[in-house]
Chain A
């Protein structure tokens, strides 16, 4: 009986394929949407936990003006360099480093045009030779005021190499620099999440990115061994008072990826919406196909009845067909969904941060915490 059902199923391959297709497409959309957003979310987790790996506690000034992320760039909130000494005086802080890192350093490429970015920020930063995350690929760090190092992503985009003279647009009018170094990140990554970085010597970075020398806009603190990060955070916050945001590296990473994932869940909902439409249409398609199948099989079913099959066996036979099609098509759809998600992911891997339509949202940042203030 079962064999007869399966054989008749296999004998009508086109019918099988067509009714299976509706199921495959619906399942593919749903599974693909989930797999894609999940893998993207996890890769962002990885990026951020790397970005904040060297940060035990991060300090930034509270922005003076709250800027809605959707309306414009957040203003960098500089604070005097003396804050570094204040933080360093807190017991348990082993190594305290001040940073400059804000959006708005635009390199002029080999073709004489400004290098653009689809979403990821273009950071201007202060060069810190002790940064453990950075791997110099070529050349050295900037030591003179007319020297810069850039990350490999930017070097590729601008098609410049060590020794080239390039112009950089910042708050100030165009200034010319010599590229003396190209750097990347551990694991062969050209950047964290597609960010373009221009690293100046600290005084130049302060002047060009923050408007005056002698200020930073972020501090990273390495805790002395055995000091809990949370305790250090609370001590620093108590010392600095209300004008500063103090967070542990883990907090920063979680918040940054949390904000991105919120964006991703929006994306996920769109995909699921499509999947829902596909399934809804699929339901009618499947229903229709099955009523055609049963109509086609009427003769066969009548014969089965005549040679002694019970009503239950007939229903079982039709249900078996439905279950087999459903099962096989679901598995195929699942595989197709995973494959589809992987293809899309591979395609988007070239500019992973291209997913971020919120330009100023929590950018992954090497070892410091300058921009997490944008996360609220």
Chain B
């Protein structure tokens, strides 16, 4: 399969379990290596990068948001957000840091440990962590999978804003048609290939497409 994800856009990848969406994202992010073909982020060819190269890629070009938040429990929210920068040995851009914090609405919770934050707040910390290093692309793996609909909506709204206002590029894997409707474009996967695409989706149009694909695959199976 071949796919492109445009800079400055919010793309969702959808598909039933086992359709290869997570595999696709891991390959894109350099977490898994591809056996054939080529992956590139911006000017950087990910395929064939060594350990040092992948480290540099993760440090400078890629941000992650996980379903499980994956914050370090021993660090405060502020330290968690600044972790990628401190690992890379860079100081934060204070203005950008303040902007990000204001956008995620965590100004008064920066000194708290993750265990003192709600799930939605933890995920917003994780988003801020991904954003603060200004990567070329952020990969989000089911970012709302562990959140109730309201917290999920907050996180998604925030992700969309970061794309619209700051030109961030985001690729998100999700099951949820509502979550997918926040994206600019939805890519549907089935059995490892792209079967459909939607632009400017709404929950309804996503759901329709999913139903249609279900019928198609059911017919194919029959």
Contacts and interface: CB of A to CB of B under 8 A. Distances in A.
A62 to B, nearest CB: 76
Contacts of B55: 305, 308-311
Contacts of B75: 4, 7
Contacts of B51: 310-311
Nearest to A6: B74
B72 A308 contact: no
B79 A308 contact: no
Contact of B86 (A3, A10, A303): A3
A35 B63 CA distance: 56
Secondary structure dominating the interface of B:
helix
B70 interface: yes
A307 interface: yes
B86 A308 contact: no
Contact of A306 (B52, B60, B64): B64
B79 A300 contact: no
B73 interface: yes
Interface in B52-92: 52, 55, 58-60, 63-64, 70, 72-75, 79, 83-84, 86-89
A8 interface: yes
B129 interface: yes
Contact of B74 (A7, A305, A308): A7
B74 A307 contact: no
Contact of B83 (A11, A305, A307, A311): A307
Q: Most chain-B Cβ atoms within 10 A of its Cβ — which of A8, A11, A300, A308?
A: A308
Given A8-B74, A307-B64, 10 more contacts: A1-B87, A4-B83, A11-B74, A306-B31, A307-B58, A308-B55, A308-B59, A308-B60, A308-B84, A311-B51
A315 to B, nearest CB: 12
A307 B129 contact: yes
Nearest to B29: A306
B79 A3 contact: yes
Interface string B22-63: 000000000100000000000000000001100100111001
Contacts of B89: 1
B129 to A, nearest CB: 7
22 contacts: A1-B87, A4-B75, A7-B74, A8-B72, A8-B74, A10-B74, A11-B73, A306-B70, A307-B58, A307-B63, A307-B64, A307-B83, A307-B87, A307-B129, A308-B59, A308-B84, A309-B55, A309-B87, A310-B51, A310-B52, A310-B55, A311-B51
Contacts of B64: 306-307
A4 B88 contact: no
A251 interface: no
Given A310-B52, A310-B55, A304 B87 contact: yes
Contacts of B72: 4, 8, 300, 303
Nearest to A12: B74
Nearest to A7: B74
A134 B75 CA distance: 70
A310 B89 CA distance: 12
Secondary structure dominating the interface of A:
helix
Interface in A302-351: 303-311, 313
A303 B83 CA distance: 10
A303 B59 CA distance: 12
Given A7-B74, A8-B74, A1 B84 contact: no
Q: Most chain-A Cβ atoms within 10 A of its Cβ — which of B84, B129, B133?
A: B84
B87 A303 contact: no
Contacts of B133: 308
Interface string B101-131: 0000000000000000000000000000100
Closest 3 A-B residue pairs measured CB to CB?
A308-B59, A11-B74, A307-B84
Given A4-B72, A11-B74, A300-B72, A306 B58 contact: yes
A173 B58 CA distance: 97
Q: Most chain-B Cβ atoms within 10 A of its Cβ — which of A1, A299, A305, A306?
A: A306
A7 B86 CA distance: 14
Interface string A25-39: 000000000000000
A1 B86 CA distance: 6
A357 to B, nearest CB: 55
Contacts of A300: 72
Nearest to A302: B70
Nearest to B83: A307
Contacts of A299: 70
A308 B51 CA distance: 11
A3 B55 CA distance: 20
A164 B172 CA distance: 102
Interface string A274-312: 000000000000000000000000011001111111110
Q: Most chain-B Cβ atoms within 10 A of its Cβ — which of A4, A304, A311?
A: A4
A324 to B, nearest CB: 15
A4 B72 CA distance: 9
B123 to A, nearest CB: 15
Given A11-B73, A308-B88, A4 B58 contact: no
B125 to A, nearest CB: 13
